[in-house]
Amino acid sequence: MLAEYWPVLLFIGVAVGLGVALLVIGLLAGPRRPEAEKLAPYECGFEAFEDARMRFDVRYYLLAILFIIFDLEIAFLFPWAVVFKQIGLVALIEMGLFLLLLVVGFAYVWKKGALEWE
């Protein structure tokens, strides 16, 4: 039974070995010239904040969450398209309803102005 898992274990071993090897090579061969600008914190294109309690625009997070939601929902189309011939007409209707709900949700978000960045 272990012979069935050998390719998977080999793949995991090679991946871990390659990852560790690349990290070690980067540490040994990489330049070590720390400067104040390189060591400064960087926060998503914004200047570093002096006060940690400073108000931050919530629209940035809202837009990011909306992107994740709609992007992940579209990812459901790929496995469906692969097995479309085997699952038939019922699955086509279900995917149509799914996409309809997705479009209705997108229209609602658009109408509410959540995609506006002013």
Dihedral sign computed on CA atoms, order 47, 52, 57, 63? positive
Domains of the chain: residue spans and CATH: 55-118 (1.20.58.1610)
Instruction: Indicate the pTM of the whole model.
Output: 0.49
Strand partners of residue 46: 43
Closest CA to 70 of 106, 31, 17, 28: 106
For the chain, how long is the longest CA-to-CA vector? Answer: 62
Write the pLDDT tens digit of every residue in 22-47: 999 999 998 888 887 777 766 666 66
Q: Rounded to whole angstroms, what are the CA distances from 117 to 48, 108, 110, 111, 113?
A: 21, 16, 12, 14, 9
Mean pLDDT of 48-62: 71
Are 51 and 102 contacting, i.e. CB atoms less than 8 angstroms apart?
no
Give me the pLDDT at residue 46, please.
Answer: 62
pLDDT at 15: 97
Residues 6+ apart with CB under 8 A from 60: 44
Integer Cα distance of 74 and 30 in angstroms: 40
Q: Please report the pLDDT score of residue 107 as a whole number.
A: 92
| Residues 62-82: tens digit of each pLDDT | 888 888 888 888 788 888 888
pLDDT at 118 over 80: no
pLDDT for 53 beyond 80? no
